[in-house]
Amino acid sequence: MASLDDDAELKRAIALSLEDASSSKSALAPERVVDLSSDDDDDEDLRRAMALSLQENEAEKPSISASAHKPQAPAQSQYALNTSLSADRPAQNSPDAITTKPASGVLGLDRKAMEQERLARLGKRKRSASPDRPSKLIAKALPAASASSAHQPPIADKSPIQYPGGIIKRTWAFKHPRTNDIRLEEVLQASTVNIAILSSFQWEDSWLFDKLDPCKVKQIWIMNGKYRGEDVREKMQREAVEAQIPNFKQHFPPMDGQISNMHSKFMLLFHPTHLRIAVPTANMTLVDWGETNKDPRTGKSWQPAVMENSVFLIDLPRRSDNKLSNKEDLSSFGKELLRFLEAQEVGRNVIEGLLKFDFTHTQHSAFVHSIAGNHTGEASHQTGLAGLARAVRHLQLDQVETLELDCTASSLGALKDTFLKQVYLAARGASPLSDETIPARFLDKIRIYFPSRDTVEKSTGGPACAGIVTLSKSHYGADFPKQCMRDYKSTRRGVLSHNKLLLARGRKKDGTSFAWAYIGSANLSEAAWGSQKVLKSGKQSVLINRNWECGVLVPVPEDSLKDLQLQDGEVPPMSVFEGTIEVPFQYPGEEYGAKEPWFFK
């Protein structure tokens, strides 16, 4: 089994909001408040160096900046949860430790300010303080006259059902041309959503509450709740209660034993007419959704986006008979989604809520997950890499003769040939531990897109904005499959990537072509996909998944494949993904040569 350090994902403070200008806040709308007092429901990147000090320093104001930036006077927020601290922290003697010292508890809450704001809730609202921009960005600041929001079109919140068959979109990026992209507001459809179940590894609460008002929308946040050496779950819950955020509840999936991170990212958005399921590669942070800081003088954004992601969306109509579906009658997608949510112990009400919707049109895609923990027997064949292989078989994408695999990740573990062989086998629909014959030089058929140091340094935000793009220099040793590495360069100039994608193209044994895309939270590491081996006895060891992960596998339609004119042994070109996913990087990608990858230190 790989070291726990394999799931390295350093969270530095990436140019978050600098706003301290207040904006008018309308009165609460009690007629739309959802009662959350009942307990009926029973209710990037895996960072090695997410060292978040839980010490309270009453002499200092809250600061979560990981870099030595000039401090700013904090503004206050109506709901001042500092949930970007919700990540696993390493041992205090870790060489990669970053120390931060919240002044008012683990979530950085200013209780005095909260009380003042509760008394003046109908007054103006100010945003919470956040880290300074990197010095490089400050140096580029535009004068007020040239700051423009011309690239920020109005949001068209078109409800209800928009994507009945499912779609993959790129996240919007400020000051870049719009293509097949989507903004978070467009994902949420905030004007009609009633209940939002949100899962993420990192959060920016005040930013998210501006988009999804807790006075109007019941929200359950599925969060990371494990800290090495100290369990702060109770503190997080207590401070959320003290913040008096209406319609808000935290949920922490099981994190016992060797489980390290709750890294899954998804949204279950309940509307009167439909359920929207969204599975992004992005965290719930401003930067991950293509937004940027605002100039404190003008209140307008000026810096082009520094990060991009992707998201799968599908809209499911309500059942016409108003009854609950039987779990046994669900599509494979629905069954695996419920298996994952039940393992996360989200509660009976959430599960029953899902069963009110029609999963018929999910049959052409597959929900893929890594259920954290140890698995034996049949359970070990349903999740992790084995679950990916099972999804490939279910969609009849197996019986493979030849396969090319292009992978993107925002975090890489201590990759070895043996692990990549398991990934390659699973992508063919075979058991990751099978003895199925594959090419001796199978590594030549795998390309891993990850930015070089040169690419990061020349990016819009520079190294200060690459804190969630992580690879440890100690992992990039002699055994690392360097021949697979390609320099990730976005088709959006200067933008870095937080995408987690697998793009497979191949030919079956009968000569037919196929292609599919995986989009989700899982990086390329054993922590994300699971660790398992064949014992000397010939039996399979226990499957160990250290992270909660989830994603969706979407096949390229046969209509996009049938007219291809391919030679013997040739696979479909990357252009075959057009119409299924907008490939966000330049391919086939530049080999590293003398370059070295971006190391997070």
Q: How far is CA 315 from CA 185, 211, 359, 475, in A?
A: 16, 20, 9, 41
Q: Are 353 and 270 in contact (CB under 8 A)?
A: yes
Strands 547-555 and 543-545 turn out to be unpaired
d(CA 488, CA 172) in angstroms, rounded, equals 19
Determine, yes or no, domain membership for 284: no
Q: How far is CA 265 from CA 44, 131, 277, 311, 551, in A?
A: 11, 24, 11, 10, 8
State the burial class of residue 478 (Cβ atoms within 10 Å of its Cβ: 0-12, 13-18, 19+). Answer: exposed
Determine, yes or no, domain membership for 438: yes
State the 10-residue block means of pLDDT for the chain, 601 residues long: 40 33 31 34 35 29 29 39 40 26 35 44 36 31 30 54 97 96 97 97 94 96 74 79 91 92 97 97 97 87 94 97 94 98 97 97 98 96 98 98 98 95 98 94 98 97 94 92 97 98 97 97 97 89 96 96 91 97 96 92 69
3-state secondary structure of 513: strand
Q: How far is CA 117 from CA 80, 384, 550, in A?
A: 10, 46, 38
Q: Are 274 and 315 in contact (CB under 8 A)?
A: yes
Q: In degrees to the nearest 10, what's the CA dihedral of 375, 528, 425, 563?
A: 130
DSSP for 260-311?
Answer: -EE---EEEEE-SSEEEEEEES--BSTGGGT---B-TTTS-B-SPP-EE-EE
Determine, yes or no, domain membership for 390: yes
Q: Are 173 and 290 in contact (CB under 8 A)?
A: yes
Determine, yes or no, domain membership for 252: no
φ, ψ dihedrals at 185, nearest 5°? -60, -40
Boundaries of domain holding 391: 370-591
Tokens coding 466: 């690459």
d(CA 111, CA 80) in angstroms, rounded, equals 9
| Stated length of the chain | 601
pLDDT of the residue at 230: 53
What are 368's strand-pairing partners? Answer: 551
d(CA 79, CA 125) in angstroms, rounded, equals 10
State yes or no: 158 annotated in a binding site: no
Determine, yes or no, domain membership for 466: yes
Determine, yes or no, domain membership for 419: yes
Which residue, among 349, 408, 384, 388, has the nearest Cα to 531 in the 3D structure?
384
pLDDT of the residue at 429: 98
Q: Position 320: which residue type? A: S
pLDDT of the residue at 158: 61
Q: Are 452 and 27 in contact (CB under 8 A)?
A: no
Q: How far is CA 278 from CA 253, 324, 483, in A?
A: 19, 21, 34
Q: Which long-range CB contacts under 8 A does 323-331 form with residues at least 24 apart?
A: 324/352, 324/355, 324/356, 325/355, 325/356, 325/357, 325/358, 325/359, 327/355, 330/359, 331/359, 331/360, 331/362, 331/363
How many CB atoms lie under 10 A from the CB of residue 309?
A: 26
Half-sphere exposure of 557 (CA within 13 A, CB side): 9
Tokens coding 199: 């899962």
Half-sphere exposure of 362 (CA within 13 A, CB side): 28
Q: Sign of dihedral through CA atoms 100, 104, 106, 107?
A: negative
Tokens coding 167: 């779609």
Return the beta strands (E) in 61-194 as ranges.
Answer: 167-171, 181-182
Assess whether the previous peptide bond of 588 is cis (omega < 30° from 0). yes
φ, ψ dihedrals at 264, nearest 5°? -70, 150
State yes or no: 500 annotated in a binding site: yes
Determine, yes or no, domain membership for 378: yes
3-state secondary structure of 526: helix
Tokens coding 261: 């991170």
Determine, yes or no, domain membership for 324: no
pTM, rounded to two decimals: 0.79
Helix, strand, coil share (%) of the chain residues, nearest 5: 20, 20, 60
pLDDT of the residue at 137: 32
What are 470's strand-pairing partners? Answer: 411
CATH number of residue 568's parent domain: 3.30.870.10
Task: Report the domain count for the chain.
Answer: 1
Assess whether the previous peptide bond of 160 is cis (omega < 30° from 0). yes
Please give the helix or strand (H or E) that residue 368 lies within, else none.
Answer: strand 366-370
pLDDT of the residue at 329: 94
Q: How far is CA 313 from CA 182, 278, 361, in A?
A: 10, 4, 12
Active site (catalytic) residues = 263, 498
pLDDT of the residue at 159: 60
- Helices 384-394 and 417-427: crossing angle, nearest 10°? 30
d(CA 47, CA 469) in angstroms, rounded, equals 10
